[in-house]
Amino acid sequence: MFSTIVITGGAGFIGSHVVRLFVNKYPNCHIINLDKLTYAGNLANLKDVEGKPNYEFVKMDICDFDAFYKLIQDKKVDGIIHLAAESHVDRSIKDPFTFARTNVMGTLTLLQAAKLYWESLPEKYEGKRFYHISTDEVYGALQLTNPEGVPAPFSTKASSESQHEAYGKDFFVETTKYNPHSPYSASKASSDHFVRAFHDTYGMPTVVTNCSNNYGPYQFPEKLIPLFINNIRHRKPLPVYGEGLNVRDWLYVEDHARAIDTIFHNGKIAETYNIGGFNEWKNIDIVKVLIQTVDKALDRVKLETTETGETIETYPDMDLITHVTDRLGHDARYAIDSRKLQRELGWEPSLQFEEGIEKTVKWYLDNQEWMDNVTSGDYQKYYENMYSNR
Ligand code: NAD
Ligand code: DAU
């Protein structure tokens, strides 16, 4: 068992779910949430755990070597779960330097400090672990149709095996060659290489996971799902990039947090595990599901009688869909094969997408104060800069 774990980026979207899970599940383990609190970090994401005796927050930049070295030495840290990053592709296209600094230099800083501290101990790397959270985007992009011409997504309901067979095995696996396209994914790929290099060169006990798109509560509304839920609520245009035909594989964030727990404790050292939902959706279809779910929740659905006398439901907010200029270098399709994780460690997603999206929409509608707080101030400038004249 670990005695003191640092979770970096714990005030962000996925990090806050990981912190909550670990603080509640491991009361005898001291959990340190290390976060710089950038625009994406928000301690309001963790109100329910802030008073727990095994929880501590430390405001720190992962690029600050001296501060991090002192922290892990003072607190005798034996586990590090590294999520802190600049995470938004569109921001990386406008400002790649920040991504190289945080994602590459920040990760290297943590690795080097952990190496020096752990190697100074009599037991060295025994009982230690450095777990790096990465993304499926490092693998590049898949085709929108399989070799037989069947368009993706194959099916959102098929079991992982049947979906895998039917799609012609065109999924990212752990051995897929890295081929990142955006400054974000290039920076994450570089950080993954540094983590593996620290295992291969110094014997550091590392593990890396590459996960697909997450959704759920506490996601900053620069990402598709929370941004669109908020815009539908306020009847603002929904800026769909290009035709909206790009495909993503969506996983409920608590399922990702559970996978991180399983892999941190039981994953093999130096291994890579892919984590995904076997749940592919075209963007435009996700947008329609979001409109239907929000309109139902807000009682906006209209009943219309067709010429044949049939009564049908219509969703007035479908009119908000606005096709805008595509993202530069927009990856066509991501799809993860997570069968290694299922086979070796018994993890699989627990939620069907329909249930997850309903929970997610309900959470954002019920937590308008959270949304109002994160969309005040700089967010308006960000929105203008990213979307006006697009
Ligand atoms: P996020 O943007 O919501 O949160 C990032 C957190 O890191 C914030 O709390 C921020 O304050 C903190 N941070 C940023 N720079 C820092 C620095 N220099 N020092 C200390 N803290 C800093 O990100 P997220 O969506 O929760 O993603 C978390 C991790 O998971 C990232 O590494 C990301 O690449 C990876 N990932 C995300 C997804 C996804 O769908 N969101 C999928 C796969 C992998
Ligand atoms: O695949 C994992 C990755 O998923 C993570 O590594 C990233 O941190 C995370 O941000 C996410 O990246 P995406 O670029 O896929 O997520 P985003 O929510 O930004 O966009 C999802 C899709 O929706 C993508 O095809 C672009 C499109 N989109 C997005 C926004 C914000 C739009 O059409 N309009 C929008 O306004």
61 lines ligand 1 (CB under 6 A): yes
Length of the chain: 390
- Known active-site residue 167: no
Residue 8: which of 54, 72, 70 has the closest Cα?
72
Residue 211: which of 45, 334, 384 has the closest Cα?
334
213 lines ligand 1 (CB under 6 A): yes
Residue 155 has pLDDT above 90, yes or no: no
What is the Å distance from ligand 1's center to 161 Cα? Answer: 31
Residue 43: which of 22, 19, 68 has the closest Cα?
19
Residue 159 has pLDDT above 70, yes or no: no
Of 210, 223, 325, the residue with max ligand 2 atoms within 8 A of its CB, to mutate for a pocket test, comes to 223
Question: What does the angle CA 255 – CA 261 – CA 266 come to, to the nearest 5 degrees?
Answer: 125
Q: Specify the 3-state DSSP secondary structure of 256.
A: helix
How far apart, in whole angstroms, are the C-alpha atoms of residue 334 and residue 270?
Answer: 24
Spell out the residues 6+ positions from residue 179 whose beta carbon is closer than 8 angstroms to its own.
138, 139, 140, 141
pLDDT at 162: 67
Q: DSSP letter for 172, please.
A: B
Q: DSSP letter for 152, please.
A: S
pLDDT at 38: 98
- Known active-site residue 137: yes
**Amino acid identity, position 201:** T
Q: DSSP letter for 62, please.
A: T
Out of 90, 137, 192, 337, the active site residue is 137
Question: What does the angle CA 236 – CA 137 – CA 78 come to, to the nearest 5 degrees?
Answer: 110
247 lines ligand 1 (CB under 6 A): no
The closest ligand to the CA of 242 turns out to be 2
For residue range 92-141, list pLDDT tens digits in order: 999 999 999 999 999 999 999 999 999 999 999 999 999 999 999 999 99
Q: Quick one: what percent of the chain has pLDDT higher than 90?
A: 89
What is the Å distance from ligand 2's center to 372 Cα? Answer: 22
Of 13, 86, 88, 89, the residue with max ligand 2 atoms within 8 A of its CB, to mutate for a pocket test, comes to 89
pLDDT at 278: 87
pLDDT at 373: 95
Out of 184, 215, 241, 334, the active site residue is 184
Spell out the residues 6+ positions from residue 175 whose beta carbon is closer than 8 angstroms to its own.
none
Q: Specify the 3-state DSSP secondary structure of 310.
A: coil
Q: Residues 198, 115: contact at Cβ < 8 Å? A: yes
Spell out the residues 6+ positions from residue 70 whose beta carbon is closer than 8 angstroms to its own.
none
- Phi-psi sector, 330: left (phi>0), alpha (psi -120 to 50), beta: beta
What is the Å distance from ligand 1's center to 376 Cα? Answer: 20
User: For residue 282, what is the enclosing H or E element?
Assistant: strand 280-282
- Known active-site residue 334: no
For residue range 294-338, list pLDDT tens digits in order: 999 999 999 999 999 999 999 999 999 999 999 999 999 999 999
pLDDT at 149: 76
Atom 5 of ligand 1, residue of closest alpha carbon: 12
pLDDT band at 213 (very low <50, low <70, confident <90, very high): very high
Burial class of residue 228 (count of CB atoms within 10 Å of its CB; 0-12, 13-18, 19+): buried
Spell out the residues 6+ positions from residue 369 whose beta carbon is closer than 8 angstroms to its own.
none
Residue 29: which of 57, 63, 53 has the closest Cα?
53
Q: Specify the 3-state DSSP secondary structure of 319.
A: helix
Q: Which atom of ligand 2 is nearest to the CA of 188?
A: 6
Residue 195: which of 259, 129, 119 has the closest Cα?
129
For residue range 15-74, list pLDDT tens digits in order: 999 999 999 999 999 999 999 999 999 999 999 999 999 999 999 999 999 999 999 999
What is the Å distance from ligand 1's center to 122 Cα? Answer: 33
Residue 158 has pLDDT above 60, yes or no: no
Spell out the residues 6+ positions from residue 69 whose beta carbon is closer than 8 angstroms to its own.
113, 116, 117
Residue 171: which of 150, 148, 151, 141 has the closest Cα?
141
For residue range 258-293, list pLDDT tens digits in order: 999 999 999 999 999 999 998 889 999 999 999 999
pLDDT band at 145 (very low <50, low <70, confident <90, very high): confident
pLDDT at 160: 64
Q: Which atom of ligand 1 is nearest to the CA of 102?
A: 18
What is the Å distance from ligand 2's center to 114 Cα? Answer: 32
pLDDT at 16: 98
pLDDT band at 143 (very low <50, low <70, confident <90, very high): confident
Place of tokens 């590392």: 206
pLDDT at 87: 98
**Amino acid identity, position 363:** W
The closest ligand to the CA of 386 turns out to be 2
Out of 78, 86, 136, 222, the active site residue is 136
pLDDT at 154: 55
The mean predicted confidence, pLDDT, of the chain is 95
Q: Residues 136, 210: contact at Cβ < 8 Å? A: yes
How far apart, in whole angstroms, are the C-alpha atoms of residue 77 and residue 2?
Answer: 9
Mean pLDDT of 72-92: 98
Mean pLDDT of 357-373: 97
**Amino acid identity, position 78:** D
